[in-house]
Chains A and B, each alone.
Chain A
Amino acid sequence: MSLLSVDHLSIGYQTKKGMLKAVDNIRFDLEKGQSLGFVGESGCGKTTIGMALMGLLPENAVILGGHIRFQGEDLASLTETQWQTVRGAKIAMIFQAAMNALNPVMPVNEQIKEAIITHQPDISKTDLADRMKELFDLVDIPARRMKDYPHEYSGGMKQRAIIAMALACDPALIIADEPTTALDVIVQDQILREIKKVQEATRTGLVFISHDIAVVASVCERICVMYAGQIVETGTRKEVFKSPRHPYTRTLLNSYLSLDNLNDIRVPDMKESPDQMIDTDECRFAGSCAYAKGCAGRSPDWIDISPTHKAFCCNPDMIRRGHGKS
């Protein structure tokens, strides 16, 4: 049994103009101790997935179909009271710019203690102290800084404290939504290492969300590339980055500036993202795809490249052929 298994999940937002399908027929599995990265441009539905896994979807969101099975239990059907025993205890989340989520008038260690006590009301004083020490060790905050107030921490330290808080109840699954987007490169590098180290040490499942492919690549073993609410390619880190197959993944990788690929940057001719109000079975990427010729009127399908590597496209030949470019 997988730790997390998401099956044909679709989520819409009710808006004045109609239903906006933010997540469309998504499926993926996550085993214990594994890390799975979601990458895609702004608005492709990454946060929506994360919020669904936490039971924190906004009021106007509707789960249109599908299942989220976590340790065998279907999360999509939980009531709010049932959620409260899961959220924070079994599944924890690190939000974007979460450092602003710390209470400014409460010492950091008190806030983490509170997180523990909420889910383990009868924990003993000594156990609590041990656990606190363990947590601060894990995220590399020196013990003498435990009792500081959030404003005495740097941005990076605050984000570490948030990680400690997420780990407080020993969750089986952590969801990290853009945990480093508000930080600078040097601190980002430290935090990514931290997350990876902690995840490997605790054997927690990790769902890692970012719009920055390189960041996802540095943390996750498996990657899902999303476009307009759908997963368009999934595979191991190596497969996706060394031999991307879906035209969108290639566009994404081609336009990513890194220090060693300057000469073969290709500026994509991206159109506006497709209108997610329109429900269609056709490929959402067709408007910006160089191979879109025969694709109108057809619906894309999953094409296997390897047992772990798949792409969602109408053009199996092109996908299987690959283009060797990373």
Chain B
Amino acid sequence: MEKADSKSRILVEMKQVTKAYASRKKLFTGSSPQVLALNSIDLSIAKGEVFGLVGQSGSGKTTTGRLLVRLESPTAGEIFFNKTPISQLKGSGLKTYRSRVQMIFQDPYQSLNPHLSIAETVLEPLIVQKIGTPDTRTEKVVHTLDTVGLSPGEAFFNRYPHQLSGGQRQRVAIARAIVLEPQFIVADEPTSMLDATIAIQLFQLLEQIKETFGMTVLFITHNLAAARYMCDRIAVIHDGHIVEVNTADNIIRHPEHPYTKQLIKVQPGFKYTR
């Protein structure tokens, strides 16, 4: 990809973004030290790209994702979506933005409201964004459930999350995320709680969705192998810093940063046979 070309097709850009959390007050000293979850990071994701964000626990992956979907606002720096700054969006501007970006959460057992049926869950974004009429909405829900492999969609309508397996729940969460046909999806470790056989099917589903809808994906994981399988480019994040960005193959084959090398070393594999 040529440099100038990729510049013009950038969808998401983070410039010098810092996020600090006030950590809990120390009981006696009264001071409240800050946790720097992200330390002045730069990131740009091109349209149609699957971009991987890899790092260990606490490195700031989820924070990045939450900033991008505006669940948090940056402490410093700016985030651009389609060249528009988003961190000051409010009211209807924010609502419109939220129809364009969606998130898939890590824990399929926590990310669905136990009191809503599957149909209600997937319907919810359409109602909130006032898209379509009740009839077309239902149609859309059935169609989306089919797309994510829960077919026939009607069979899942009246089921509740607790009646589904982890893999099926994550499919519902994906359906909820794509029902608005967003341009950008943040997938935060969508399979880390699921079995390999189920994970690989979800990866394929994500890929297929990405192709059909032309979506851009930020794929967050601590599993380098999964990132390599899914992504065009990978960024390695460590302690709130992006330490390395490269194409998926290059990151694995020619890691430059020592941290990347360590991550590669500890990836489980079957190389243990003596």
Contacts and interface: CB of A to CB of B under 8 A. Distances in A.
Please tell me whether chains A and B touch each other in their complex, using a CB distance cut-off of 8 A: yes
B70 interface: no
Contact of A189 (B165, B224, B266): B266
Interface string A176-189: 00000001111111
Nearest to A273: B165
Contacts of B228: 257, 259, 262
Nearest to B249: A262
A268 B273 contact: no
Determine the interface band of chain A, counting residues with CB < 8 A from chain B.
35 or more
Given A42-B166, A186-B56, A237 B266 contact: no
B267 A237 contact: no
A124 B245 CA distance: 58
A155 B271 CA distance: 26
Given A252-B196, A255-B197, A212 B268 contact: yes
B207 to A, nearest CB: 10
Contact of A259 (B165, B198, B222, B225): B225
Interface in A230-244: 237-238, 241-242
B222 A258 contact: no
B234 to A, nearest CB: 12
B273 A241 contact: yes
Given A184-B222, A185-B266, A189-B266, A257 B252 contact: no
A256 B196 contact: yes
Contact of A262 (B166, B198, B225): B225
A268 B197 contact: yes
Contacts of A237: 272-273
A56 interface: no
B57 A257 contact: no
B266 A41 contact: no
Contacts of B204: 267
A155 B197 CA distance: 27
Contacts of B178: none
A326 B194 CA distance: 22
A20 to B, nearest CB: 15
Nearest to A218: B272
Interface string B86-98: 0000000000000
Determine the interface band of chain B, counting residues with CB < 8 A from chain A.
20 to 34
Given A238-B273, A257-B223, A270 B266 contact: no
B197 A241 contact: no
B273 A257 contact: no
Interface in B147-200: 165-166, 194-200
A258 B225 contact: yes
Contact of A185 (B201, B263, B270, B273): B263
Interface in B196-223: 196-201, 204, 222-223
A265 interface: yes
Nearest to B259: A186
Interface in B222-274: 222-226, 228-229, 252, 262-264, 266-273
Contacts of B197: 41, 251-252, 255, 268, 270
Contact of B201 (A43, A218, A270): A270
Interface string A184-213: 111111000000000000000000000111
B222 A255 contact: no
Interface in A268-308: 268, 270, 272-273
A257 B225 contact: yes
Nearest to B59: A184
A122 interface: no
Interface string A304-326: 00000000000000000000001
Given A185-B266, A267-B201, A267-B204, A41 B273 contact: no
A41 B200 contact: no
Contacts of A251: 197
A217 interface: yes
A41 B166 CA distance: 11
Given A259-B224, A268-B201, A186 B263 contact: yes
Nearest to A190: B266
A189 B269 CA distance: 11
Contact of B267 (A185, A270, A326): A185
Interface in A210-225: 211-215, 217-218
A80 B14 CA distance: 60
28 contacts: A41-B197, A42-B165, A42-B166, A42-B194, A42-B195, A43-B165, A155-B57, A183-B57, A184-B56, A184-B58, A185-B268, A211-B195, A212-B268, A214-B270, A218-B268, A218-B272, A238-B273, A255-B199, A259-B269, A260-B269, A262-B228, A265-B200, A267-B200, A267-B201, A268-B197, A268-B201, A270-B197, A270-B198
Given A185-B223, A257-B223, 20 more contacts: A42-B195, A43-B165, A155-B57, A184-B57, A185-B222, A185-B266, A217-B268, A217-B272, A218-B268, A238-B273, A252-B197, A253-B270, A255-B197, A255-B199, A256-B196, A257-B225, A257-B229, A260-B269, A267-B200, A270-B198
